[in-house]
């Protein structure tokens, strides 16, 4: 199999505003992001011949094709995983192009995550039988899984709630550079984090993402085609998905040397021919602070068990840190678009167009939510 490295590019991005009450349909939000991405790429709507859609319970590919009057769609996919799956969806879009089924694939996610509660418990309702081993015991929300994994990590490695809080504070600081972030102009200190309500002990409310209404989109095409379009292309050096059987109806065991995220890391870095020290900006889907800390270990940015000390060291802070994290605020503070916001911000960084711009950024690692089936991308300019 030929490597996909550098053969495809992201050529357009678009986003709707993020709000707590859009008063609009998810289709309307999706169309705002999608048409903005098409315009940004310098394409015409009729050029779109592939769709990487949202979760099928929200805005499916048929809704977008119908609303835009697309007549040439030869490829579409609607991945079911939420926060873990967005970078993997981009990988599927590349597969559709590689198979000769499409040339310009629009990818999007749209959710009224604040005003219409479809996310918490959603995945739990889709597999009701297995859930007999969790739901009757009150394990009804991803926060409970995250709390169990966080507690075990603390026990094994001496990680503390303040370490988790450091990630929340970093993301909030970056959101305060992003005028579109839902938590813009709302500074957060570590003490604020420590005083916030408990959610799933040891996790606090501020360890969880902020649900919002909003949509984001991007356009992918071949590297060759990308060179003719309006924007400087952002090349995809590596794309992958990974899952781990240990996640089936159990908690992520943060002590295992091998898991979905370490597998993803090996795949991505080997495909790109890079190592973690080559990455300039990190975009890790941050549904919960604790999973970001564990992902930093599993992706190889620090050693297993050393995530706590690492996040305290300022490495993740814009502008002076070695590898700034979630520079638009992430799900924790920009607003939870299930990790699609991380891709859009990664592209902005590589165009030199971010509000918290990392000087000379050449590479970005995008990682989907971990603690579930995950996926990732390495992008370059």
Partner 1 sequence: MAYLEGLPPPEPHSDYNPFWEGCRRHELLIQRCRDCGWYRHYPRPLCPKCHSWKEQWARVSGKGSVWSWTVIAYPLHPAVADKVPYNIVEVELIEQAGLRLISNLIDCRNEDIFIGMPVEVTFEAMSEGITLPRFRRAV
- Nearest CA to 18 out of 187, 257, 180, 130 is that of 180
Q: How far is the CB of 91 from partner 1 (least distance, A)?
A: 26
CB atoms within 10 A of CB 56: 13
Contact 167, 209 (CB under 8 A): no
Q: Looking at beta carbons only, is 52 or 149 nearer to partner 1?
A: 149
Q: Looking at beta carbons only, is 202 or 324 nearer to partner 1?
A: 202
Q: How far is the CB of 165 from partner 1 (least distance, A)?
A: 17
Q: How far is the CB of 193 from partner 1 (least distance, A)?
A: 15
Rounded Cα distance, 237 and 51, in Å: 21
Q: Looking at beta carbons only, is 75 or 164 nearer to partner 1?
A: 164
- Nearest CA to 342 out of 90, 57, 53, 42 is that of 90
Rounded to 5°, the CA angle 19-24-28 comes to: 105
Q: Looking at beta carbons only, is 135 or 162 nearer to partner 1?
A: 135
Q: How far is the CB of 45 from partner 1 (least distance, A)?
A: 39
Residues binding partner 1 (CB under 8 A): 120-121, 128-141, 143-144, 147-149, 151-152, 155, 197-203, 205, 245, 248-251, 253
The structure tokens listed for 143 are 């926060």
Q: Which residue has the tokens 């992430």?
A: 330
Q: How far is the CB of 255 from partner 1 (least distance, A)?
A: 10
Q: Looking at beta carbons only, is 245 or 359 nearer to partner 1?
A: 245
Q: Looking at beta carbons only, is 46 or 249 nearer to partner 1?
A: 249
What angle separates helix 161-175 from helix 289-299, to the nearest 10 degrees? 100
Q: Looking at beta carbons only, is 51 or 144 nearer to partner 1?
A: 144
Q: How far is the CB of 126 from partner 1 (least distance, A)?
A: 13
Sheet strand arrangement including 105-112: 75-77, 50-52, 105-112, 213-222, 8-15, 234-242, 374-380, 363-367, 281-284
Q: How far is the CB of 158 from partner 1 (least distance, A)?
A: 13
Give residues with Cβ within 8 angstroms of 372, minimum separation 6: 81, 82, 83, 84, 247, 260
Q: Looking at beta carbons only, is 144 or 325 nearer to partner 1?
A: 144
Cis peptide before 202 (omega within 30 of 0): yes
Q: Is 162 helix (H, G, I), strand (E, B) or coil?
A: helix
Q: Looking at beta carbons only, is 32 or 287 nearer to partner 1?
A: 287
The gap from C-alpha 338 to its chain's centroid, in whole angstroms, comes to 6
Rounded Cα distance, 238 and 245, in Å: 23
Rounded Cα distance, 357 and 144, in Å: 35
Q: How far is the CB of 112 from partner 1 (least distance, A)?
A: 17
Q: How far is the CB of 170 from partner 1 (least distance, A)?
A: 23
The structure tokens listed for 147 are 């709390």
């Amino acid at each position: 199999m030929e490597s996909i490295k550098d053969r495809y590019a992201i050529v357009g991005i678009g986003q709707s505003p993020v709000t707590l009450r859009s008063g609009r349909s998810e289709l309307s939000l999706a169309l705002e992001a999608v048409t903005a991405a098409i315009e940004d790429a310098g394409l015409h709507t009729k050029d779109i011949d592939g769709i990487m859609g949202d979760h099928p319970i929200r805005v499916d590919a048929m809704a977008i094709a119908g609303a835009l009057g697309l007549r040439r769609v030869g490829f579409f996919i609607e991945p079911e995983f939420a926060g873990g799956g967005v970078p993997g969806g981009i990988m599927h879009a590349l597969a559709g192009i590689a198979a000769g089924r499409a040339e310009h694939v629009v990818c999007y996610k749209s959710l009224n995550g604040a005003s219409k509660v479809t996310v918490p418990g959603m995945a739990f309702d889709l597999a009701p039988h297995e859930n007999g081993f969790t739901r009757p015991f009150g394990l009804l929300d991803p926060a409970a899984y995250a709390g169990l994994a966080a507690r075990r990590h603390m026990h094994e490695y001496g990680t503390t709630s303040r370490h988790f809080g450091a990630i929340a504070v970093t993301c909030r600081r970056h959101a305060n550079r992003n005028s579109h972030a839902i938590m813009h102009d709302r500074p957060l200190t570590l003490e604020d984090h420590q005083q916030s309500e408990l959610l799933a002990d040891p996790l606090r409310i501020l360890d969880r993402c902020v649900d919002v209404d909003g949509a984001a989109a991007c356009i992918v095409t071949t590297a060759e085609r990308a060179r003719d379009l309006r924007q400087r292309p952002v090349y995809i050096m590596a794309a992958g998905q990974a899952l781990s059987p240990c996640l089936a109806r159990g908690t992520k065991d943060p002590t295992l040397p091998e898991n979905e995220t370490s597998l993803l890391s090996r795949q991505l870095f080997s495909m790109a021919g890079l190592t973690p020290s080559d990455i300039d900006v990190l975009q890790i889907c941050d549904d919960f602070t604790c999973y970001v800390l564990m992902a930093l270990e599993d992706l190889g940015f620090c050693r297993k068990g050393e995530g706590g000390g690492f996040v305290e060291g300022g490495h993740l802070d814009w502008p002076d840190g070695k590898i700034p994290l979630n520079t638009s605020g992430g799900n924790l503070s920009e607003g939870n678009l299930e990790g699609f916001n991380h891709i859009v911000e990664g592209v902005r960084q590589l165009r030199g167009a971010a509000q918290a711009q990392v000087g000379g950024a050449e590479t970005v690692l995008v990682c989907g939510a971990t603690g579930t089936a995950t996926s990732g991308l390495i992008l370059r300019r």
